[in-house]
Amino acid sequence: MTEAILEIALATPLRRLFDYLPPHGAQAVTLAPGIRVTVPFGQRMVTGLLLGVKSTSELGLDKLKHAAAVLDTKPLLSPEMIELCRWSSHYYLYPLGDALFHALPPWLRKGKPDKDSCAPGWQLNPRGQGLNPGAFARAPRQQQALAHLIQHQRVLQSELGLHGLSRAALQALVSKGVVDQTEVMLEPPPLEIAQGPQLNHEQRTAVTAVCRGLGQFSPYLLEGITGSGKTEVYLNTIAAILRRGEQALVLVPEIGLTPQIQARFEERFPGQVVTLHSGLSDGERLQGWQAARRGLIRVVIGTRSAVLTSFRCLGLIVVDEEHDTSYKQQEGFRYSARDVAVKRAQLESIPIVLGSATPSAETMQNALQGRYQTLLLQQRAGSARAPSYQLLDLREQNLLEGFSDTLLQAMQGNLDQGNQILVFLNRRGFAPALICHDCGWVANCQHCDVRMVVHRRLRILKCHHCEAQAQLPHSCPACGSSRLVGVGLGTERSEAFLQSRFKNTPIMRIDRDTTRHKGAMDKFLARIGSGQPAILVGTQMLAKGHHFPRVTLVAVLDADAGLCSTDFRGPERTAQMLIQVAGRAGRADRPGTVIIQTHFPQHPLLQLLIQGRYRQVSEQILAERSALQLPPFGYMGIVRCDAPDPAGAPELLQKLRHFLPAQTGVNVIGPLAPPIARRAGRYRSQLLFKSPRRGNLHHTLQRAVAWMQEHAKGYRLRWSVDIDPQDSI
């Protein structure tokens, strides 16, 4: 008999699979792809994932080691999931073993057993099986418990209250020897779908369209203005999926910021929803993952990494706010969860809904080309109306700490009517720079090429790109002058100003600094939800997905930073941000106003935005990108490198550039320093690759990665490759 050889993926940066012989005594039939094995690797024992069984190895049989043990009886990953990881590994040029391990919760990666999902409870034992439901009639509580067990076989401790059963009665049945107290296997809860609002015509059309695509790969763009009821479309489509006995995956940009969406799903599908995000403990992650894979829950809501969750029977994927940049992982495995989700839907032959008020250029292009079917929601749901816009020309205005007189008057008017106001400024801290009025000294970070940000309440200077902090100096370190001034505006400064200006109104600052603690955001949301007049001042955290029915005025303090950006994605990001933040105004029965302060009121992008024509903005952006062969018309990849010395990274990338044969159709730019050339004490450099053909780009980058793998060793260098990069820093 020929020996079976196991092809095993390990979580190592080595870009290859490893051959092992089966453990002594293992049955070949138990060796299905997707199970875990422990294998000796170097001096250690590590967990690996079996990908295949073959009959020959490039190494001689006598060179192969035996695997130590088989950890699972059934595959942890389905063939589709393995295929998805293979695809991602290939597409993002990331080691396959590492990609596969991303699809497992941390405990399983470490080789812990994949225990059955059980919980403490009681079940009838063989003696109890024979009893008739009327037994123990003289002890009514016991009789009730027995009747329940005869009907359902089992009851969980956590469900006693739900069924009105008494613990003492069950214990009495245990002492009578008819019931066992044991670990009970969990089962899916009964399908229960709560009633939602009556859908409007557009929503119904959208739900019907998606339902036509069930059971096959069909991608949809759900393009709906903010407040148009996209979430209701998701909920209704998911309801249809659940009735088919299938499960749904809902990806959201950030869960901690939007507990509201989670609450709405739980209300609609009680006891059938689990959330997966980075804030969970390893134990909670394992539980959630197992619940999804065993079909114990029906809906997973999760952030980026949830795209690799295993399901028993996945029937639909929703990507909410599909344009959001947080779907792209910015380190390690630099995948886009949205793009992986589309691939997954294709591999699993299921529909996928990409929802947004401001679709990304990539998705818009796919929709325009007919690869995605577009579903439009153009009206606000319920009684809410679209907000009206006002562009405030800053050139004609007096400014007080960034607020124009006109804006301050409008704010007063809204407060007088008992409403809430949202002030948007996408910069946290007090001031983005500290300078000496007398000599021009500037507080720079010692480790990065950036300015330190003034945080006045904490009396510190902070670098927003590394961990560096310093005491706020009392006098200039260069000339000793005490005339140090914070230059520019941050949310903390706006908060201080508003507190002095609107003394009787609560001011809530909502940014990364004030929401760091667990539950902080919930507290803010509860205060806002109480409906009292208030001013919320905050960063993009406030712009995302929230439903604030009492906010009638949204003020954008400074629209210009985004308009002047040099990044080719600047206009797209600015438009998306402005529309998202404007969308917080007038979401209920009170009409909303959006005031945008700018020095460029005639800017074509702003003009289109205030007329509510994101589609035209998008078409213009696409036309520009097309002319310049920028994404989605051309493809990009970056090889990044950094080192503790200034020369290491650019020298290595220069050599890489020389090594690469000139491939027609691939444009290599660099090595260049990114906008922040030094970060956390490391000097950075990068090579940018552009091509109108993805195949050519991929081929060149594959060679680049192989070369870096070989040559980036001896140096104290770090390097990475980024496919479809979202930013150039």
Q: Which stretch binds ligand ADP (CB under 6 A): 142-150, 194-202, 438-446, 697-705?
A: 194-202
Binding of residue 725 to ligand ADP (CB under 6 A): no
User: Which secondary-structure segment (H or E) carries 346?
Assistant: helix 337-348
What residues does 453 pair with on adjacent strands? 462
Binding of residue 258 to ligand ADP (CB under 6 A): no
Binding of residue 227 to ligand ADP (CB under 6 A): yes
Binding of residue 381 to ligand ADP (CB under 6 A): yes
Q: Let me know: does 57 contact 19? Beta carbons within 8 Å.
A: yes
What is each CA distance from 17 to 8, 41, 100, 453, 716, in whole angstroms? 6, 12, 12, 47, 26
Residues contacting residue 360 through CB under 8 Å, at least 6 positions apart:
322, 323, 572
Binding of residue 584 to ligand ADP (CB under 6 A): no
Longest dimension (CA), the chain: 94
Judged by CB under 6 A, the residue of 142, 226, 258, 491 near ligand ADP is: 226
Residue 532 CA to residue 91 CA, distance in Å, equals 51
Residues contacting residue 119 through CB under 8 Å, at least 6 positions apart:
156, 157, 158, 183, 184, 186
**Minimum CB distance to ligand ADP smaller for 52 or for 549:** 549
Q: Let me know: does 315 contact 218? Beta carbons within 8 Å.
A: no
**Minimum CB distance to Zn ion smaller for 141 or for 465:** 465
**Minimum CB distance to Zn ion smaller for 124 or for 461:** 461
**Minimum CB distance to ligand ADP smaller for 197 or for 695:** 197
User: At closest approach, how far in Å is the CB of 230 from ligand ADP?
Assistant: 3
What residues does 420 pair with on adjacent strands? 534, 551
Q: Which stretch binds ligand ADP (CB under 6 A): 229-237, 244-252, 291-299, 343-351?
A: 229-237
Which partner from the list ligand ADP, Zn ion, none does 547 bind, CB cut-off 5 to 8 Å by kind?
Answer: ligand ADP
Dihedral pair phi/psi, residue 363, rounded to 5°: -70, -40
Assign 63 to helix, strand or coil.
helix
Which partner from the list Zn ion, ligand ADP, none does 448 bind, CB cut-off 5 to 8 Å by kind?
Answer: Zn ion
Our measurement of the distance from residue 665's CA atom to the centroid of its chain's CA atoms, rounded to an integer in Å, reads 34
By CB under 6 A, the residues from 657 to 696 that bind ligand ADP are none
Binding of residue 563 to Zn ion (CB under 5 A): no
**Which parts of 103-200 fold into alpha helices (H)?**
106-109, 126-129, 140-152, 160-163, 167-175
Binding of residue 323 to ligand ADP (CB under 6 A): no
Residue 220 CA to residue 374 CA, distance in Å, equals 6
Binding of residue 224 to ligand ADP (CB under 6 A): yes
**Minimum CB distance to ligand ADP smaller for 140 or for 382:** 382
**Minimum CB distance to Zn ion smaller for 340 or for 484:** 484
Judged by CB under 6 A, the residue of 231, 580, 597, 598 near ligand ADP is: 231
Assign 591 to helix, strand or coil.
coil
Which partner from the list ligand ADP, Zn ion, none does 197 bind, CB cut-off 5 to 8 Å by kind?
Answer: ligand ADP
Q: Which stretch binds ligand ADP (CB under 6 A): 197-205, 273-281, 434-442, 463-471?
A: 197-205
379: its two tokens: 């009206």
* Peptide linkage before 632 cis (omega within 30 of 0): yes
Give the type of residue at 354. Answer: L
By CB under 6 A, the residues from 198 to 217 that bind ligand ADP are 198-200, 203
**Minimum CB distance to ligand ADP smaller for 252 or for 649:** 252
603: its two tokens: 């800017």
Binding of residue 232 to ligand ADP (CB under 6 A): yes
Which partner from the list ligand ADP, Zn ion, none does 463 bind, CB cut-off 5 to 8 Å by kind?
Answer: Zn ion
**Minimum CB distance to ligand ADP smaller for 324 or for 560:** 324
Binding of residue 547 to ligand ADP (CB under 6 A): yes
Which partner from the list Zn ion, ligand ADP, none does 228 bind, CB cut-off 5 to 8 Å by kind?
Answer: ligand ADP
Closest CA to 89 of 292, 366, 310, 332: 332
Give the type of residue at 623. Answer: A
Q: C-alpha angle with apex 42: 41 to 44, nearest 5 degrees?
A: 65
- What mask of x and - would describe binding to Zn ion in positions 400 to 439, judged by CB under 5 A? ------------------------------------x-xx
User: At closest approach, how far in Å is the CB of 447 from Zn ion?
Assistant: 4
Closest CA to 237 of 274, 211, 266: 211
Binding of residue 382 to ligand ADP (CB under 6 A): yes
User: At closest approach, how far in Å is the CB of 222 from ligand ADP?
Assistant: 9
Residue 351 CA to residue 199 CA, distance in Å, equals 21
User: At closest approach, how far in Å is the CB of 260 from ligand ADP?
Assistant: 8
Which partner from the list ligand ADP, Zn ion, none does 95 bind, CB cut-off 5 to 8 Å by kind?
Answer: none
Residues lying near ligand ADP in the complex (CB under 6 A) are found at: 197-200, 203, 224, 226-232, 381-382, 547
